Amino acid sequence: MKTILVAGGAGYIGSHMVALLKERGIHTVVADNLRTGHWQAVKGGAKLYVGDLRDAAFLDRIFTENDIDGVINFAAFSLVGESVTDPLKYYGNNVAGSQSMLTAMKDHGVKRIVFSSTAATYGEPEKQPIEETDRTEPTNPYGATKLAIEGMLKWCDRAYGIQYVALRYFNAAGANTDAGIGEDHNPESHLIPLVLKTALGQRDHIGIFGDDYPTADGTCIRDYIHVRDLVEAHLLALEYLEKGGESGVFNLGSGDGYSVKEIIDTARKVTGKEIPAVVEPRRAGDPSVLIASNHKAAEVLGWKPQRGLEQIISDAWAWHSSHPNGYEG
Ligand code: UDP
């Protein structure tokens, strides 16, 4: 049976990918070391292999036991701040893990991979909205590791004919309320879950990291994309590669930007809670505005995000309010 291998499938975005593949009746196996993922997030009976991508014997076993047709690789560390203080942890896990995955694919004759990249590959943007051809100059090791992997993918395509799609995510948020999965990072650093944890009373306020940016209300603007829209793009990317599509890099964002204050206001409306907010100093390394051009993904992959900000926040709210302690209950 043709099978898709989802590496990092117990993580936030990976688990939503697994749920979608299952919904579409696509046989799926998951590899995850459970360092940041949750076994409870792997739904639909997908087989979970627990191990590290850098362990060649572990990957060899997965590729031997299954007829892997394509790989979707989400497995990575993704905390920007931590990547600055411990870059070797990020190069070691992210770059070496992908290298090991590509080696296993080469050895087993698997020719298609969809890779989770990031808007952090751009660094401080040249212009808005950001296009895939814009300068890539990451300002932190997390973005640098993802850009290094994009380079590795390009050369592996040329040398071994491994076709790839690298997807540069903007700000993923939301949840899958039907599957009972959502965002559960420890520690949590992302705006929307922190705002909703404040609404739940788990924090006494949300900090707004700077209100002196050159934006309309002074707070940073980001492009928020529903995790469901995001994983649907991965499926389209796989289908595109199956049809013989050329390897490439694509932005995944809504094309719309919202400020930190707009996010908090929308969350107040959705939850009906007060959500106290306090202006705090800027967070180092935050660009003022990040908005995706999603034209390439629309034209080439046929991808069109369907879910707006209110749905992102209301789905996230349904998850956080029903799982106040994440997967622990
Ligand atoms: N942010 C904030 N308070 C928080 C967390 C984040 O004001 O407690 C801001 C952050 O400065 C950025 C935006 O919210 O402008 C989104 O941050 P997040 O960490 O969710 O994603 P990033 O854009 O860094 O990938």
pLDDT tens readout for residues 164-173: 999 999 999 9
Residue nearest to atom 1 of ligand 1 (CA): 191
State how far Cα 40 lies from the chain centre: 19
Closest Cα partner for 168 from 93, 82, 233, 97?
233
CA 154 to CA 54: how far, in whole Å?
A: 20
- Whether 169 sits among the annotated catalytic residues: the reply is no
3 state DSSP class of 293 = coil
CA 130 to CA 95: how far, in whole Å?
A: 25
CA 138 to CA 306: how far, in whole Å?
A: 29
Tell me if 79 CB under 6 Å of ligand 1: no
Closest Cα partner for 302 from 255, 228, 233, 246?
233
Strand 28-32 to strand 224-226: parallel, antiparallel, or no bridges (unpaired)? unpaired
Q: According to the model, what pLDDT value does residue 245 have?
A: 98
Q: What's the token pair of residue 245?
A: 């599509």
CA 274 to CA 264: how far, in whole Å?
A: 10
Which one is catalytic: 142, 213, 224, 258? 142
Tell me if 209 CB under 6 Å of ligand 1: yes
Q: According to the model, what pLDDT value does residue 285 have?
A: 85
Atom of ligand 1 nearest to the CA of 80: 24
Tell me if 231 CB under 6 Å of ligand 1: no
Q: Which of 198, 205, 283 to mutate to test the pocket of ligand 1 (most atoms within 8 A of CB)?
A: 283
Low-confidence residues in the chain, pLDDT < 70 = 329
For the chain, how far is it from start to end, CA to CA, in angstroms? 35
Tell me if 279 CB under 6 Å of ligand 1: no
| Residue 292 near residue 255 (C-beta atoms within 8 A) | yes
Query: pLDDT tens, 18-52?
Result: 999 999 999 999 999 999 999 999 998 899 999 99
| Residue 188 near residue 194 (C-beta atoms within 8 A) | yes
Q: What's the token pair of residue 27?
A: 């046989």
CA 70 to CA 55: how far, in whole Å?
A: 19
State how far Cα 27 lies from the chain centre: 22
Atom of ligand 1 nearest to the CA of 209: 7
Tell me if 260 CB under 6 Å of ligand 1: yes
Q: What's the token pair of residue 186?
A: 């420890």
Atom of ligand 1 nearest to the CA of 192: 20
Q: According to the model, what pLDDT value does residue 170 have?
A: 98
Tell me if 264 CB under 6 Å of ligand 1: no
